[in-house]
Structure 1
């Protein structure tokens, strides 16, 4: 299986970096005895996230402006925002994060601590290769809890496979079909960066995420930073 960033993505974001972490042989079952660990991990990450919100006006913070500018460069569903904006909004409102499942909790903690969009997919649920690029339009998409198809728009930037859209608007919202669950054994985790400052943070963030996964699951993943010069990886 390959992860491929299409040429039309680099046309929009030539300086971007899509960091990929492939991990295999996981036991992602929820262990209630570990809930205090994950609760504290998310709490500490939320405190670190405050460093990225120095301006009282939420929309004026640099990280928010960077991602809104990025989302202005391609066709999006009305109201779509980067996943990191949604997390930081909760931090700004003083809202606590509750554990979901180990993999999701680990990447959410990294997303918060480094103020970068993170996501993850179940490898077993992906059909063919996983691509990131512009949608043709009409790619099938069922987000969590949806009963009706919400297909991608033409020119929208999506993650997709042979069966349809996996994530819409970069990492804004993901399909229930490929989401990480307690039954996930093999996973692809992604951290997105669209400018040089974010790229440096993303490399540090991916190292930290790989270490967290190693410490919790006793599994070491394969890290690749995809760029215009290296747009694909086989996992």
Structure 2
């Protein structure tokens, strides 16, 4: 299968930098040490609120350009940072998700972690037609609004709504997950440096805790497609 962003999305958001990883052999047994990532996030939040981070401000501008109220629909990293600032911790969900959430906190970049077994055919980040089906974590089925940015597979399932706002419960990583796709996206001025650093951190965590060597790529308008090998 392939993962890519649509030509229209690259045209509308030329500053986009996307990092992608795929890995096989994931389980729920490791216990990654997240302390260094959480400490970095805590230090940044001690200096300024997440709303002032350039990474978050770039996504807020992007959401506003798509007709979304940024304080109503937040990118995933802003939502994590906001919760972490208020509660001082994040809930443990799955070791891989916990690791990616901690790295997302540290770098303020949204990271999606998807169960590949729930994705049919290729996966594209594109504007919705309005016919796609999105399954919430509660099991309800929604239809994204036409022109909303979604992660859509060939079966017409939306695996994320409002771009980096919320993933689908259908492809959420669970204890039975073995094959994953991890996507990080950023639009701020230093994204070309920060996203590769994020990919390196996730790859290092995968190698250390799961003993797997993930496939990785940094996508661009010139090279927008990533081949996922299972």
With normalisation by structure 2, the TM-score equals 0.90
| Pairing of 1:53-202 with structure 2 (within 5 A) | 53=45, 56=48, 58-76=50-68, 79-147=72-140, 149-163=141-155, 164-202=157-195
In 2, the alpha carbon distance for the partners of 1:22 and 1:58 equals 29
Deviation at 1:114, TM superposition (A): 1.2
In 2, the alpha carbon distance for the partners of 1:188 and 1:86 equals 21
Q: Secondary structure at the match of 1:178?
A: coil
With normalisation by structure 1, the TM-score equals 0.88
Deviation at 1:55, TM superposition (A): 5.3
Structure 2 stretches lacking a partner, 5+ long: none
Structure 1 stretches lacking a partner, 5+ long: none
* Residue 23 of structure 1 pairs with residue 23 of structure 2: yes
Q: Which moved more, 1:66-75 or 1:52-61?
A: 52-61
Structure 2 residue aligned with 1:224: 217
CA contact (8 A) 1:75 1:154 kept: no
Q: Secondary structure at the match of 1:176?
A: coil
Q: Secondary structure at the match of 2:79?
A: helix
CA contact (8 A) 2:55 2:187 kept: no
Structure 1 residue aligned with 2:205: 212
Q: Secondary structure at the match of 1:72?
A: helix
Distance of aligned partners of 1:75 and 1:142 in 2 relative to their CA distance in 1, 3 Å threshold: farther
